[in-house]
Amino acid sequence: MKKLLPLMRKYIVFAILSPIFMILEVLGDVIIPYLMSKIVDIGIANQDIDYIITIGIIMIIAAILAMVFGVSSSFFGANAGYGFAAEIRQKTFEKIQGYSFANLDSFTISSLITRLTNDCNTIGQVTMMSLRMAIRAPFMLVFALIMSFRINSSLAKIFLVALPVLAIAIFFTLSKARPLFLKLQTHVDKVNGVIQENLTNIRIVKSFNRQDFEEAKFKKRNDNLMYTAFKAISYIIILMPVFNLVVYSTIIAVLWFGGKQITIGTMTGGALISFITYITQVLMSLMMISMYFMNLLRGSASVSRILEVVNTESEINEISMPIDEVRDGSISFENVSFTYPGSSERTLKNINFSIKSGETLGIIGSTGSSKSTLVQLIPRLYDVTEGSVKVGGVDVREYDMEILRHKVSFVLQKNTLFSGTIRSNMKWGKEDATDEEIIDALKNAQAWEFVSSYDDGLDHIVEQNGDNYSGGQKQRLAIARALLKSPKAIILDDSTSAVDMTTDAKIQKAFKENLPDVTTIIIAQRISSIEHADRIIVMHEGSIESMGSHEELLEKSPIYKEIYVSQQKGVIGQ
């Protein structure tokens, strides 16, 4: 929490004013019953109409002022709360922008989304509550207590019994109910689990005729949920009657002892009536305090989830005097090993190779052979555990990261287009790209053909995730976007899997002819995508099994040959 509080700075005035105005409102609310007792005791007793009017008007003014103070406090509180939430959201988002890939892997996407949305909102609400309710309730309690002691201190001693009784009752109920509510959540999750599972598996459920089986499973969990919910709620239900019991018992006690004092003349009727109002104010405040604590728990869960994000430090750090020019696109791996954070097994083992600037390198191997991991080390998406990766003859850790990633373009396996237009997506590669540059890149990626067929061309809309394009089109757009960076090296991580072979061949040809100086690394499942590469690496279980040209590998690599043969099966010329 200490870490987040400084984020309040921008809204500190609101955060200070809100409680102050709240206290002023409470003062007004507490003074009114006291004034009322004066009307009764002095005004009525002396039949002094002027006095009654004067005090009455003062009361009305007090109520109006209290209203103004209250509304102001709402305004300040809401601005402070949601301002604070916005600052936290901003800070969290910025933190995530600074994450490394390894950091990102340690959170699921959906959990990051929840943190940025729900958790931040909850913090806003709870902050507002802390500035208002958490101030109002205790001050009201104390002020009303002071007033009741001033009116009649011997009668006010009844509070010394009533308050602890109510407090214990609240504490007992909530401490019983809380674990049950936590348990309730797991039951809710279980029920939702079956629903989710059935939604995704509905075809399987139906084709195996398992509807009754699933319904039985659901019924069991649904029953459990109901029982637990009812058990938890049955504790909360006690609160209201107990509260009323305490309030009315206190009123009865006050009436009895106060009444006896009236008969002997040590108390007045007006004082007794105002006392009754203070009883509700005091005890109601206690209830509000307990409610606040319940909400606070919700807020603290959100805070700790936010802190988890904010406290995660990216382990990819830049050195103090980074190199800001990449000389050429040559790449070399020297004794490189890599272990994913939290894993005990080495994912890459002792990798050694080097390619010259402008060369094309193909990488092939089965899933899990760590092809992607290998290439992700080049633009420092991950840092090596041992050894050194060099681009342009310099260890990648010595570069300014932005420059490095700008010059080493990477087309991810799971690529995302963003909602907008084709042009807005292309500008990710180069912010000030001209239409000519964009069209050029689209041509090289063999995407211009379909883009130019749209009436609105570059302004053609891109839906979220690029859902309105086919897999092959999306991949080609992603390649064009990466080309716009005018990189010295480009890495295609299985980026043409949905593109047909002819187009794939055209892309390779365009790369060779139009981008002769750009080093190209292609990871592929299809041999045809890489067979013309200058060199091909065959990966197997985290190591290089062999390396060479297509012809050489057919001779010396059994894995390569196996893949080749299986892909030739059924194809002409067998």
Question: Where in 429-448 is the site for other proteins (CB under 8 A)?
Answer: 429, 431
Of the two residues 227 and 356, which places its CB atom closer to other proteins in the complex?
A: 227
Q: Are 532 and 550 in contact (CB under 8 A)?
A: yes
Report the site for other proteins in 101-130 (rule: CB under 8 A): 101, 104, 108-109, 112-113, 116-117, 121, 124-125, 128
Report the site for other proteins in 447-476 (rule: CB under 8 A): 464-465, 467, 470-473
CB of 258 to other proteins, least distance (A): 8
Q: How many CB atoms lie within 10 A of CB 416?
A: 11
Report the site for other proteins in 161-180 (rule: CB under 8 A): none
Q: Are 475 and 529 in contact (CB under 8 A)?
A: no
CB of 529 to other proteins, least distance (A): 11
Of the two residues 6 and 558, which places its CB atom closer to other proteins in the complex?
A: 558
Tokens of 432: 């000030």
Tokens of 208: 């195996």
Residue from the set 172, 230, 293, 454 that interacts with other proteins by CB under 8 A: 230
Residue 391, φ and ψ in degrees, nearest 5: -120, 130
CB of 473 to other proteins, least distance (A): 8
- Verify binding: residue 240, other proteins, rule CB under 8 A: yes
- Verify binding: residue 311, other proteins, rule CB under 8 A: no
DSSP string, 467-527: TTS-HHHHHHHHHHHHHTT--SEEEEESTTTTS-HHHHHHHHHHHHHH-TTSEEEEE-SSH
Tokens of 398: 């010595």
Q: Are 530 and 536 in contact (CB under 8 A)?
A: yes
Of the two residues 79 and 360, which places its CB atom closer to other proteins in the complex?
A: 79
CB of 128 to other proteins, least distance (A): 7
Beta strands 535-540 and 360-364, pairing class: parallel
Residue from the set 345, 502, 513, 551 that interacts with other proteins by CB under 8 A: 502
CB of 90 to other proteins, least distance (A): 5
Residue from the set 148, 277, 370, 519 that interacts with other proteins by CB under 8 A: 277
CA distances, 118 to each of 228, 294, 411 (Å): 25, 17, 32
Of the two residues 190 and 334, which places its CB atom closer to other proteins in the complex?
A: 190
- Verify binding: residue 266, other proteins, rule CB under 8 A: no
Site string for other proteins, 379-418 (x = CB under 8 A): x-x--------------------x--xx--xx-x-xxx-x
**C-alpha torsion angle, residues 63, 68, 74, 77 (rounded to 10):** -110
- Verify binding: residue 319, other proteins, rule CB under 8 A: no
- Verify binding: residue 487, other proteins, rule CB under 8 A: no
Residue from the set 295, 525, 543, 549 that interacts with other proteins by CB under 8 A: 525
CA angle 312, 131, 70 (to 5 degrees): 150
Of the two residues 280 and 386, which places its CB atom closer to other proteins in the complex?
A: 280
Calpha distance 478→492 (Å, rounded): 10
Rg (CA), the chain: 36
Of the two residues 244 and 311, which places its CB atom closer to other proteins in the complex?
A: 244
CB of 335 to other proteins, least distance (A): 26
Report the site for other proteins in 343-372 (rule: CB under 8 A): 366-368
Nearest residue to 493 via CA among 372, 407, 347, 364: 372
Query: Which residues, 6 or more positions from 298, have their beta carbon under 8 angstroms from its beta carbon?
Result: 122, 126
Which span (156-164, 295-303, 335-343, 480-488) binds other proteins, by CB under 8 A? 480-488
CB of 222 to other proteins, least distance (A): 5
Helices (H), 98-119: 101-105, 109-114
Residue from the set 372, 528, 543, 546 that interacts with other proteins by CB under 8 A: 528
Of the two residues 41 and 359, which places its CB atom closer to other proteins in the complex?
A: 41
Residue from the set 4, 15, 29, 147 that interacts with other proteins by CB under 8 A: 29
Question: Given its phi and psi angles, is residue 370 left (phi above 0), alpha (psi -120 to 50 degrees) or beta?
Answer: left
CB of 87 to other proteins, least distance (A): 9
Residue 548, φ and ψ in degrees, nearest 5: 165, -170
Residue from the set 16, 20, 27, 56 that interacts with other proteins by CB under 8 A: 56
CB of 204 to other proteins, least distance (A): 7
Which span (1-9, 30-38, 325-333, 385-393) binds other proteins, by CB under 8 A? 30-38
Of the two residues 334 and 550, which places its CB atom closer to other proteins in the complex?
A: 550
- Verify binding: residue 146, other proteins, rule CB under 8 A: no
Of the two residues 96 and 351, which places its CB atom closer to other proteins in the complex?
A: 96
Of the two residues 280 and 332, which places its CB atom closer to other proteins in the complex?
A: 280
Residue 43 half-sphere exposure toward CB, CA atoms < 13 A = 16
CA distances, 372 to each of 329, 363, 529 (Å): 19, 9, 16
Tokens of 383: 């840092």
Report the site for other proteins in 182-221 (rule: CB under 8 A): 191-211, 213-215, 218-219
Tokens of 503: 């187009």
Q: Are 423 and 459 in contact (CB under 8 A)?
A: yes
CB of 362 to other proteins, least distance (A): 15
CB of 530 to other proteins, least distance (A): 13
Residue 432, φ and ψ in degrees, nearest 5: -105, 30
- Verify binding: residue 321, other proteins, rule CB under 8 A: no
Q: Residues 84-112, buried b or exposed e (16+ Cβ, 10 A)?
A: bbebbbebbeebbeebbebbeeebeeeeb
CB of 38 to other proteins, least distance (A): 10
